[in-house]
Chain A
Amino acid sequence: MAEMTYRDAVARGIAQEMERDPSVVLVGEDVGSAGGVFKATVGVFDRFGPDRVVDTPISEQAILGAAMGAAMTGLRPIAEIMFSDFFAVCWDIVANEIAKTRYMTNGQVSLPLVIRSANGGGARFGAQHSQSVENWAMAIPGLKVVAPSTPRDVVGLLAAAVRDPDPVLFFEQKSLYPAKGDVPEGEIVDELGTAVVRRHGKDATVVALAAMVPRALEAADRLAGEGVEVTVIDLRSLVPLDVTTVATSVTETGHLVTVEENPRLCGWGAEVASIVAEERLFDLDGPIVRVTTPHVPLPAADALEDAAMPTVARIVEGVRRSLQ
């Protein structure tokens, strides 16, 4: 077991898969000798060379089109979109082409590809480099959507994404890049669509994703001091969505709180809340509470950004509201 940053885990996960399968290639802006603008692909170019680790111009449509065309003809590309905000300039390739091609062709075309992207706030980058867009992806049939919260899960879920026969959008939360965690030696391969219970408590179920997981755990610590025992579920994957783990926990606790970094409207928590309301209404002993970023673009100033994103205090308050 070695301690490793989330950032280094990305490079390790990529290398693990490129070592195993010669059809895996990495493509994107500055992913090669520069090692990525977030230094998340350091060492991959030196190890696998310029044929398999390819720098591109600032051409997001060309990057994702290349990944798609390569995936339909025998490669398993990992493409990088530097900031997830940039999906807005290549969303045609993602939403119209990659997501729909298997369906439209009656299953003739497979697209085993991964699109990695730095997602989310906390870096004071302002409204065009800080968005949480996983709910954009979740809304499109044909895309799998993954967002790890720990270095270990980065390796395991990235491996699962690369080996998956369907397109996967892999959101790396950029404020987590320096975060450290234990990562076992050897090959790690996870399973998509499996949530993990990070902490078990009988009083309320808190469901969180990516950077919101450590905050939810901190809120759980604080609530424990008040005698409130909270279950914290790390969703890890929005599509497939592990409804079973969430619903089972809600049946036990009777309370559901979602913690979402995305702006309020149509965030992933709304889908989770609606499923629980539809399928476990009579197990609920209080209102479902969603803690989200308000429905605003993210401001740049540190004080404002911190105030906008869900804080530990707001999560604590959300659990209390659900328990009232």
Chain B
Amino acid sequence: MTELQDQRGRGGPASAARGIGTAPVGAAPIEVRTSIYKMMVEMRDFEKRAYDLFLQGLVKGTSHLGLGQEAVAAGFAAAMRPSDYTFATYRGHNHTLARGAPMAAVMAELMGRQAGLMAGKGGSMHLTSVAHRMMGSYAIVGAHLTIANGAAWSAKLRGTGEVAVCFFGDGTTNIGAFHEALNLAAIWKLPVVFVCENNRWMEYTPISSVTAVAHPAADRARSYGLDPVLVDGNDADATYAAASVALERARAGAGPTLVEAETYRHGGHSRADPGKYRPEAEVQAWLARDPIPLYRARLAESGVDESVLRRIEEAAQSAVDAASAEAAASPPPDFSLVEADVWADGGSSWRR
């Protein structure tokens, strides 16, 4: 462990994070931190509403919530430039919102409506908004690490200074594409940041029981000539700081970074999973470390007025209300979309 570049609070995530009120090293200006809080609150409210709409039968299919993991998406998004690329997984609602995709369009996509981000053609697991450099949510574990490499390779060849940031879960670290992607990124020195959100559970199985090392991502970094980076994924200041270092390194031409952010999902793996297999004490311990109240308290201690925080919270509720209403008012997608956009000509014809 001494080799680990440990960016967690003293004692790691099991104990309370950094002392409240002490601005951590590398912390963002207060307006950035306030915007991080706003993002997290919006994500939380959005996903809770999405879950309610499931129960009402308005959101169909499956969905994977990132409740409890907001500090990773928000901290990184705040540190990224608008031109940087995001690649996310099927647990990608938060990452999509964090890049600025309109809440109503994301909700409409979950509801399978015409106003959806992809007019209902992708669904919850494939949220994409190229206009916001949200280059896709990928539902086959591991694939998008290799694709993020491609965007980084392209950025490097074109000399744009753009960085690709790729988020994935702990389960991904045991699939071949993870290792192929890390090796290629390292040998090509690509401007890419890989962010493992270690929420401790690979679907229904503890990641520790199916992984040969204690830290599924960080302990693999040395294999690819990279320094291990472990960060408290429930501390938005810490994720912001880790992101800033990794992005700067990528832009400087020093190559990829593999970050392991330790966090926890408050719910089950997917809509169908109540998550009852997890020890109650573990769940309670992590709920006590919920990133959002933690960050709220820290901002208050840093001098952000209570009224400002409350306005953020009220605005988020209003935004979710408005987005949900707008999504619900949208009609289902036009049937012509079934055969649209297989090809660049807009159609799906395979014969001539």
Contact = CB atoms under 8 A, between A and B. Distances in A.
Do A and B truly interact?
yes
Contacts of B259: none
A324 interface: no
Contact of A51 (B157, B343, B346): B157
A244 B352 CA distance: 6
Contact of B143 (A59, A65, A103): A65
Nearest to A69: B150
Interface string B91-135: 000000000000000000000000000110110001011110001
Interface stretch (A35-43, A225-233, A234-242): A234-242
Contacts of B147: 65-66, 68-69, 72, 93, 97
A16 interface: no
B151 interface: yes
A223 interface: no
B121 A106 contact: yes
Given A59-B183, A102-B341, A109-B136, A69 B121 contact: no
A69 B153 contact: yes
A175 interface: no
B277 interface: no
B344 A166 contact: yes
A2 interface: no
Highest count of chain B CB atoms <10 Å: which of A52, A65, A92, A97: A65
Nearest to B129: A108
B154 A62 contact: no
A73 B153 CA distance: 10
A286 interface: no
A64 interface: yes
A107 B346 contact: yes
B350 interface: yes
Interface string A83-112: 000000000110011000111111111100
Nearest to A95: B140
Given A25-B157, A241-B352, A73 B85 contact: yes
Nearest to B120: A106
A233 to B, nearest CB: 14
Contacts of A67: 150
A141 interface: yes
A193 B188 CA distance: 37
Contacts of B136: 101, 105, 109
A269 interface: no
Given A73-B150, A93-B143, A65 B177 contact: yes
Contacts of A51: 157
Nearest to B146: A65
A70 interface: yes
B328 interface: no
Nearest to A238: B350
Given A61-B146, A97-B138, A241-B350, A107 B340 contact: yes
A139 to B, nearest CB: 11
Interface of A: 25, 51-52, 54, 56-57, 59, 61-62, 64-75, 77, 92-93, 96-97, 101-110, 141-142, 164-166, 193-194, 239-244, 275
16 contacts: A62-B146, A65-B146, A65-B177, A69-B148, A92-B177, A96-B140, A101-B136, A102-B343, A104-B118, A105-B121, A107-B346, A109-B136, A141-B348, A165-B343, A240-B349, A240-B350
